[in-house]
Structure 1
Amino acid sequence: MFTAAIFDMDGLLIDSERAIMQAWIGAARALGIALAASDYVQVIGKAAPESNALLVSLLGDERAFRQVQAMAGAQLHAPVTGPRFPLKPGAKELLMALRHAGIPCAVASSSRVEEIKDRLGRVGVLDFFTCVSGGDEVRRGKPDPALYQLAAERLGVAPQACLAFEDSENGATAANRSGAQVVVVPDIKPPSPAVTGFSFRVLGTLHEAIPYIPRWFGRTGPAGLEP
């Protein structure tokens, strides 16, 4: 059914969204600004221009945004032991299975290309991807379909031939609008009924996708895995 796979990064391949959210909420609190998790989740999956504009509104003004951004950034760049954003369960196993089946993979992430390569390189999976597409390469970020259209173009296939993997509502909507089918693996926020309705599948972890590779891609994956 599909000839290529396209992956989001933050919250799907790597466990980054929670750490980033807590850094912003903690920095806002330190400055006496109430930023609720239920408000912050609105920015998840959006590219920087859209998410920054929303955060300015949530925090009150541009000055508060810059202060919170600086404090959160300092926390997120402080030295740590091991990868700051570890792989999500099943991520590497799924990528290995897709490679075994000869399925080309791309990344379509709202993060900047430099961040994508750095974060995926640190957890040892960057080489699994034929190409990456970042939020700094398109005029409008998710839920606009441009990122997925760019990733499909770089893979050399139509979006309709791609199976996308996403965790957020904005990302799933972007993939769907591009013409790709989307498998949703929720991270912080459960999918809305609308997202569930147009999704190809909703799974608990990326590991759950591995047995479906022969059925979804018409290629032989690891032996004995087809359900």
Structure 2
Amino acid sequence: MFTAAIFDMDGLLIDSERPIMAAWIAAARTLDVELSHAQYLQCVGLAMGESKQILAALLGGVAAYQHAAAQVTAALQLERLAGDVRPLFPIKPGAAELLTALRGRGTRCAVASSSTRGQIAACLGSLDVLHHFEAFAGGDEVARAKPDPALYRLAAERLGVDPADCVAFEDSENGAKAALAAGMRVVVVPDLKHPPEAIVAQAFQVLDSLHDAVPHVARWFPS
């Protein structure tokens, strides 16, 4: 059915959204602001500029946002304890197994992430899964972020495949919209937010975890 698989990264391949959300909520408290989970979730899946605007409004302005952002950066850096070689963001359940299964069938894989190419390489390299991917498209390489399809189109172009021959794996609404707009089929694996019914209706599959995709590999990606 398909010849390539293209993956989002944050919240899909790596469990980054939860520790980042916890860091923002803690940073907001240093400003005497109670940032709720629901409020923070407005930012999930958005480009950095859009999430910055929302957080600045919730926190009390640009200066407050900058203060909190510095707190978040410091908090995440403190996660790297002395002598601790564990990656900052762990791999999501089923990701390694799915990538290994795809590699075993010769399925071509790429990453289309709003994170920068440098962040993609660092995160996936620390988890020893970078070698599964032939191509990468980072948010610093396109003019418009998801839900614009540019990232997914760039990833398919770098693989040298037609978008219609690709399955995109996504956790967020905007990511799913981007892949659909690029002409791909989308497997949604929700992380912090469940997709709205409109996305569920358009999805190829909605799965609880990447573990659940492994039994479908032989059918979705015939040799």
TM range (shorter): over 0.9
Report the AA paired with residue 12 of structure 1: L
Report the AA paired with residue 87 of structure 1: I
Gaps of 5+ in 2: none
- Residues 153-181 of structure 1, C-alpha deviations (whole Å, 9 max, x = no match): 11111211110001111111111111111
- What's the secondary structure of 2:102's corresponding residue? helix
Match of 2:6 in 1: 6
Match of 1:23 in 2: 23
Post-superposition offset of 1:47? 2.4
Shifted more, 75-84 versus 93-102: the winner is 75-84
Report the AA paired with residue 18 of structure 1: R
Q: Which residue, 168, 171, 175 being the options, matches 2:172?
A: 168
Report the AA paired with residue 39 of structure 2: D
Computed over aligned residues only, the root mean square deviation of the Cα atoms, in angstroms, reads: 1.1
Q: Any residues of structure 2 matched to 1:77-92 within 5 Å, and which?
A: 77-78=77-78, 79-80=80-81, 81=84, 82-92=86-96
Instruction: Give TM-score scaled by structure 2 length.
Output: 0.95
Q: Within 1, Cα distance between the matches of 2:115 and 2:151?
A: 11
Match of 2:105 in 1: 101
Q: Within 1, Cα distance between the matches of 2:92 and 2:118?
A: 20
- 1:48–1:135 contact (8 Å) kept in structure 2: no
Match of 2:189 in 1: 185
Instruction: Give TM-score scaled by structure 1 length.
Output: 0.93
Match of 1:203 in 2: 207
- 1:24–1:72 contact (8 Å) kept in structure 2: yes
Q: Within 1, Cα distance between the matches of 2:69 and 2:150?
A: 26
Report the AA paired with residue 140 of structure 2: D
Report the AA paired with residue 97 of structure 1: A
Q: Within 2, Cα distance between the matches of 1:158 and 1:53?
A: 35
Gaps of 5+ in 1: 220-227
Q: How many residue pairs get matched?
A: 219
Q: Within 2, Cα distance between the matches of 1:186 and 1:99?
A: 24
- What's the secondary structure of 2:45's corresponding residue? coil
Q: Within 2, Cα distance between the matches of 1:178 and 1:37?
A: 31
Report the AA paired with residue 187 of structure 1: D
Report the AA paired with residue 59 of structure 2: L
Q: Within 1, Cα distance between the matches of 2:51 and 2:116?
A: 13
Report the AA paired with residue 100 of structure 1: G
Report the AA paired with residue 36 of structure 2: A
Q: Within 1, Cα distance between the matches of 2:56 and 2:154?
A: 28
